[in-house]
Amino acid sequence: MKRPLMLLTAFILAAPAPAGAQSFSQLSESRVAPAMTMPEPSIAPEAVEDPSSPTAGFDFLIRPDAEHDPGAELFSPLRSSAKSIGDSPRIPYLELARAEAKAQGVDLSLVLAIIQKESSFDPKAHSPVGAKGLMQLMPDTARWLGLKDTSKLYTPSVNIKYGVKYLKILWDEFAVTASADISGADLDKKTSQMAIAAYNAGQGNVRKYQDVPPFKETRNYVKKVTEYFTAFEQLLLDSPAP
């Protein structure tokens, strides 16, 4: 009887498994969680400077603070010791700034706040990267704006004219409120802050982040311009136009 028994055993082992049945190795594999494939991180495309662009060279330029010659007379609307006419500090180059702000449709307090942060009203202010004058214009920027003789950037009337022109371009690109009559609430808007940031860090950096760029210098710049704007608004109320 041994041979028939062995044949029966072999027949059973060779028989196909019923539907749904699994081998030991298949059962082992089914208990192991499939490997997880992590999605690739979403990375925004880097903004790349176009060398053929008319603004190439300053779209991504973060300008450092201006430097001053020894003995330069600096102004601050926050200093009680500022030179005064009556009780109100005398704002240097006020009438030049007023004329350009009116001609180009830019709020006067904003123009004065930019001048304050850029140069503290020192017409000979200069920076290590080559920015010049009251509104710290780069020669390449000034040429793009239409100034042929960039040696005139130390002339207050010329510097303010082209600085206001550049500020107007930035405001029109990024801000959503009209540039001619800005309130403190308008200046607190993200888009307004982007326009101010672009004056310091370049249009390219602001476009890249779609916000105030995360640079300490630029964020401090926006904060100080906002502070100066409020101070100049008050000074202009105390010293109305003639």
| In a domain? residue 61 | no
| In a domain? residue 117 | yes
Q: Stretch 35-52: mean pLDDT, rounded?
A: 42
How many structural domains comprise the chain?
1
CATH number, domain of 96, equals 1.10.530.10
State residue 189's pLDDT score.
96
pTM: 0.75
Structure letter (DSSP) for residue 214 = S
Catalytic entry in 49, 118, 173, 233: 118
Q: Kindly tell me if the per-residue pLDDT of 11 is higher than 70.
A: no
| In a domain? residue 6 | no
Of how many residues is the chain composed? 242
Please confirm, yes or no, whether 95 is among the known catalytic residues: no
| In a domain? residue 209 | yes
Q: What is the pLDDT of residues 176-235, one digit of tens each?
A: 999 998 999 999 999 999 999 999 999 999 999 999 999 999 999 999 999 999 999 999
d(CA 237, CA 103): 20
d(CA 200, CA 206): 10
d(CA 192, CA 175): 5
Structure letter (DSSP) for residue 85 = E
More confident residue, 180 or 52: 180
Is residue 60 within 8 Å of 54, Cβ to Cβ?
no
Domain range holding 145? 92-237
